[in-house]
Amino acid sequence: MNRVHRELQKLATYSSSEFPAITRVLYTKEDLEARGYFISLCEEINLRIRFDAIGNIFARWEGTDLTLAAVATGSHIDAIPLSGMYDGTVGVFGGLAAIRDLKKEGYKPKRSIELILFTSEEPTRFKIGCIGSRMLSGQLNKEQVLKLVDDKGKKFDDARKKAGFFTSLDDVALSKNHYHSFIELHIEQGPILEKEGTDIGIVTRIAAPSTLKVALTGQGGHAGAVLMKDRKDAGVAGSEIMLAVEKIAKDSNSDDTVATVGIFDIKPRAVNSIPREAYLEIDLRDTNVETRDKCLEALKHRIKVICGLRGVDYKLEMVNCDPPAICEKMLIENLENITKKLGFKSKKMISRAYHDSLFMALIAPTTMIFIPCKDGISHRPDEYSSPLAIEKGVMTLKAVLKDLTHS
Ligand code: GLV
Ligand code: MN
Ligand code: MN
């Protein structure tokens, strides 16, 4: 087994669920311990560590010309509940491996290289994804981040300070020319590369994600005593909305529209009580932003109609509605040449999942290196990417870092 794989296995022990299920939520003990492990490995190879006010970690290998902007790579190590050990982590520990190898070879970069561990790419705790890269790129400002509260009522600001990050939130955003470029290594999270026997996916676009919160208030009551004709059941209204989400995505005339109700809660949640409240979180994405927006409008209309007919009040909150990312042509061509030279089969592809690259693309020329994962499975405990697939990803990243930083 190669070193990255061993490190990923060690990283997987920092989890609040039992292996192979991984759960690593922002600023929890597991997240902070995992970050500590990452930092210790960076220090072993003398990378200079910097944190910002929300815990993005920057591990820097200084180049010989400090007037030049650095080339950055990196990803995330937080993991949604009961997920796998490769999502995000391959980009962080694979990035470290690429840098370690280059150092071992005696390479001296002209441009500095920065490895970034992004805070909370997953939306688990504060309901919005990519908090770290969103703030870095200026898409989430101080006022907005100060409003974030978790399910237990804990404010983001208190949570980050408790985790040891208390410098000014004004200093997180980076300027447009801060980095020369950004390249993220990640598992594909889809089946294409494995099915086709392709080693490396080169990402040209990232689909546009959106998240909608829906809070419903109907009328509770006794499950035996209230007649069907008199009910304002928030749970049933929520169920109808859930079906509408599926129908709207299926009817969009585009295979690229995907929509999911990932959270659906009812209250008071007792078998003999009519649900008084329901709460849904809806994830709706498309590679085509117009189609995505049309679906969102259709969904909002359906929610209004469903709730009107059922006498249920509703509140909508659009958590995020992001544009797609367009990756940099020069980097894509670079990667095509590099994979050819390395003898790896590559293909250009779209990322349907979002990544920190979605936001980094707004402040730096960006692309992603995808590697195959077994059966395209991700966000599940049986997520798997082979040591060889990871090795090829690291070799590709290493070559592109070298190409972009040499004198
Ligand atoms: C990232 O994890 C996503 O949901 O696409
Ligand atoms: Mn993920
Ligand atoms: Mn990821």
Q: Hey, CA dihedral for 14, 19, 22, 28, is it positive or negative? A: negative
Question: Crossing angle for the helix pair 89-104 and 387-405, nearest 10 degrees?
Answer: 60
- If you search the block for the tokens 């300070």, which residue do you land on? 161
Q: Burial code of 65-82, b = ≥16 C-beta within 10 A, e = fewer? A: eeeebbbbbbbbbbbbee
pLDDT for the residue 407: 85
pLDDT mean for each 10 residues of the chain (407 residues): 92 98 98 98 98 98 98 98 98 98 98 98 98 98 98 98 97 97 98 98 98 98 98 98 98 95 98 98 97 98 98 98 97 98 98 98 98 98 98 98 96
Q: What is the pLDDT of residues 182-195, one digit of tens each?
A: 999 999 999 999 99
Ligand 1 atom closest to Cα of 378?
Answer: 2
Ligand 1 atom closest to Cα of 80?
Answer: 2
Q: From the CB of 86, is ligand 1 less than 6 Å away?
A: no
Residue 123 CA, ligand 3 centroid: distance in Å: 11
Separation between Cα atoms, residue 371 and residue 373, nearest integer Å = 7
Residue 247 CA, ligand 1 centroid: distance in Å: 22
Classify 18 as helix, strand or coil. coil
Indicate whether this model's pTM tops 0.85: yes
Residue 349 CA, ligand 1 centroid: distance in Å: 17
> Which among 82, 87, 354 is the best mutation to test ligand 1's pocket, defined by most ligand atoms within 8 Å of the CB?
354
pLDDT for the residue 322: 98
Residue 79 CA, ligand 2 centroid: distance in Å: 7
Separation between Cα atoms, residue 233 and residue 239, nearest integer Å = 10
Classify 73 as helix, strand or coil. strand
Separation between Cα atoms, residue 118 and residue 56, nearest integer Å = 5
Q: Are strands 258-267 and 277-286 parallel, antiparallel or unpaired?
A: antiparallel
Mean pLDDT of the chain: 98
Give rounded-to-5 percent helix, strand, coil for the chain: 35, 25, 35
- Give the closest residue (by CA) to ligand 1 atom 2: 122
Separation between Cα atoms, residue 65 and residue 71, nearest integer Å = 12
pLDDT for the residue 2: 87
Separation between Cα atoms, residue 195 and residue 176, nearest integer Å = 38
Contacts of residue 44, defined as CB under 8 A and 6 or more positions apart, other chains included, come to: none
Query: Is the distance from CB of 281 to CB of 212 less than 8 angstroms?
Result: yes
Q: Edge to edge, what strands does the sheet with 277-286 contain?
A: 258-267, 277-286, 208-217, 313-321
